[in-house]
Chain A
Amino acid sequence: MPELSQQSPGAGPALACRGLVKRFPKVLAVDRLDLEVRAGECFGLLGPNGAGKTTTIEILEGLNTPDAGEVNVLGQAWGRGDGSDRALRERLGIQLQEAKFQDKLSVIETVELFRSFYRRGPDPEDVIKSVQLEEKRESWVGKLSGGQRQRLSLAVALVNEPDLLFLDEPTTGLDPQSRRQLWELIAAFRSRGGTILLTTHYMEEAERLCDRVAIMDHGHVLALDTPAALIATLGADHVVEFAVDGALDLAPVERLPGVSQARREADDFALIVREPHVSIPALLAELDRQGVGLKRLATHHATLEDVFVYLTGRTLRDE
């Protein structure tokens, strides 16, 4: 793993797992996974559907038992059988993917219910305010919109003022405005010294929120670093995507000036380039030479998505 200690030196890991394996009847959901989340950092787990993110996070939360491997959460293992699990749960904030609350309870009743399970924590009214659900305070959970439910679920995760927060796809289904508000809430939690492990499909979210990310697929980690360092592994900052109307020989294209990689995706092509203003004229000249016409061309800044495609040949959201 590259450059393991460039941030908050001296702080022990808030969360660590080693050699984690979880097998379901038909799939190996987690395959010898190692992770380490430092105290005070926001760590992102990225991967396509079925990569094993939820399975991993639920093992770390102590809700699933792994078939093999060790887990250490805030300095202790799960299931020691001495009542330490309960004490540990006092310090965790958990949001589950797709968990529902009781439809016929109101927002405030739900938050009060969960607040009562913890020894300490903020006032339920303040928690509701913090996720901007004051207006829906008295509404039944069953009548909330998808995004409002997501916020309620975050409120419930914050109800004990946790040291470590697990968020499984916290912003899926939110409108852009709500997503931004949630990002700010997560940033505020972090700036108060909290540690976060989150999963997401959104690259922008990971790049903005996470100090480090792990890209995973088929149950193991393909790459782990800061978003910037991962993008840097592509060797260039820009991506040029284009389509042509004939048979293109990719080998000469790969040797064009400024091109660090060239890939074919069905009928489309993608080049990773350092300087588009150098490479694009060269590309057009090469297409001319091969006698194929250009149907479409677009460029964008390289993102984690490109890193993922480069690593796996698949897109992150493979719906």
Chain B
Amino acid sequence: MSEPGTVVELPPAATPGAAPGGASGGLAHNALWQLTRARVLSFLREPEVAFWVFAFPVLMALALGIAFRSSGTPRSRIGVEEGPGADSVAAALSRSADLEVLRLSPADAEAALRRGKVAVLVRATAGGSPTLVSDPTRPESRLAQLATADALERAAGRVDVARPRLQSVVRPGSRYIDYLIPGLIGLNLLGTGMWGIGFAIANWRQQRLLRRLIATPMRRSDFLLALLLARLLWLVLEVGIILAFGALVFGTAVRGSWLAFVLVTLIGTLTFSAIGLLVAVRARSIEAVSGLMNVVQLPMWLLSGTFFSSERFPAVIQPLVQALPLTLVNNSLRAIMNESAGLATVAPAAALLAAWGLASFFAALKWFRWD
């Protein structure tokens, strides 16, 4: 039957004694090790994914950290409309350290106010007091209005009766970047946990790889465990990178208990992974799982206070907001990093977080389909 020139033969038979098989064998023959390795390798070989996981949070921290850096007191911009009396008004305002004065033609003045280029527009009137025009819906206009009125009154000869002494204190951990870094860690744990698990499973189900795997004697627990182990490796890397970046560039730090920090990130990762698993129990395609994933993540992106405080939401939805897994992670990490909290402080939140994780995990096990 053989064609000339081709040699086809089966692999030499394994001798059971020599074959390093079973649980007693080396790492190469350990299914858990091989599954974890396969997961880690195929992840490392996706440069796009590595970008989203590692570079994105760092770039985000850099951009927002610079945009919101606190460099002294911000000065309010005041527009002075050209006209009779404008010169003396402008001179009066320029003497105040809190104000930056722009001279505007009547044609440009309205537009500048509308676009927020100036917080207050001053219209001098011949003889009488100038008019201050501002938009009360802008948070900065109130302050600017007071500072402008103050400057004008002083120029008109007001004598201050009582002069309180001013003292400035910047507490460590109270800058915006201090607020932001824990939020970015939480957001990253959410994203990579859910995508890392859910996306992979839906993809493998679609390609019938899951079916191929259960056609072998592979232990299903090894498979799930390997997914989690690979996640934990990323956890160390991604959290390490964000922490190191924050510390080096912005001087952020973990001021509270490291043990609590490790515990919260660990429980957070496992919980988000379990939610990712739950989302992917049945999804037969990447498209299906992406949709579900967004539905689950959206409330947390909006409500969990990653970029600004969730305390601003109305009281009626606060119970929901506070119970979301990402809120629990964010608030706990903030307490640990910025308020020197220890294990006891974050224990209730960590317990609730773990409950989310366990519930999702067992629900996922119950409904999981391999094909």
Contacts and interface: CB of A to CB of B under 8 A. Distances in A.
Contacts of B45: 104, 140
Contacts of B10: 130, 158, 185, 188-189, 192
Contacts of B212: 94, 96, 99, 101, 156
Given A99-B209, A102-B209, A113-B34, A188 B11 contact: no
A99 B21 contact: no
Interface stretch (B35-43, B285-293, B314-322): B35-43
B215 interface: yes
B371 A63 contact: yes
Given A99-B207, A99-B208, A99-B209, A118 B217 contact: yes
B224 to A, nearest CB: 15
B160 interface: no
A63 B214 contact: yes
Interface in A79-120: 86-87, 89-90, 92, 94, 96, 98-105, 109, 112-120
Interface string B1-43: 1110010111111101001011000001111011101100110
Contact of B8 (A98, A103, A158, A184): A184
Interface in B161-211: 204, 207-209, 211
A161 B42 contact: no
Contacts of B42: 102-105
Given A104-B46, A129-B11, A109 B215 contact: no
Interface string B96-122: 000000000000000000000000000
B216 interface: yes
Nearest to B208: A99
A269 interface: no
Interface residues of A, number: 50
B218 interface: yes
Contact of B1 (A87, A129, A183): A183
A126 interface: yes
Contacts of B9: 130, 188
Contact of B16 (A99, A120, A126, A158): A120
A260 B218 CA distance: 55
A120 B28 contact: no
A104 B45 CA distance: 6
A285 to B, nearest CB: 44
A102 B8 CA distance: 27
A122 B31 contact: no
A7 interface: no
Contact of A187 (B1, B14, B204): B1
Nearest to A88: B217
A132 B8 CA distance: 8
Contact of A184 (B2, B19, B216): B2
Contacts of B371: 63
A210 B71 CA distance: 82
Interface in A216-265: none
Given A104-B42, A121-B19, A89 B217 contact: yes
Contacts of A92: 215
Contacts of B209: 99-102
B11 A98 contact: no
A123 interface: yes
Interface string B113-153: 00000000000000000000000000000000000000000
A119 B22 contact: yes
A180 interface: yes
A15 to B, nearest CB: 15
A296 B19 CA distance: 62
B11 A118 contact: no
A100 B211 CA distance: 10
Contacts of B217: 86-87, 89-90, 117-119
Contact of B216 (A87, A109, A117, A122): A117
Contacts of B3: 180-181, 184
Contacts of A41: none
A122 B13 contact: yes
A127 interface: yes
Contacts of A96: 208, 211-212, 215
B216 A188 contact: no
Chain A CB within 10 Å, residue with most, of B1, B19, B30, B215: B215
B207 A184 contact: no
A180 B6 CA distance: 10
A109 B41 contact: yes
Contact of B29 (A89, A116, A187): A116
Given A115-B29, A116-B28, A161-B13, A188 B8 contact: yes
Contacts of B37: 109, 113
Nearest to B200: A102
A163 interface: no
A169 interface: no
A105 B43 CA distance: 10
Contact of A94 (B1, B2, B46, B215): B215
A264 to B, nearest CB: 39
A115 B21 CA distance: 9
A115 B33 CA distance: 12
11 contacts: A86-B217, A92-B215, A96-B211, A99-B207, A102-B38, A102-B204, A112-B28, A113-B34, A118-B21, A122-B11, A158-B10
Given A99-B208, A158-B10, A181-B6, 12 more contacts: A96-B215, A99-B207, A101-B209, A105-B41, A117-B31, A119-B22, A119-B217, A120-B21, A121-B19, A130-B10, A180-B3, A184-B1
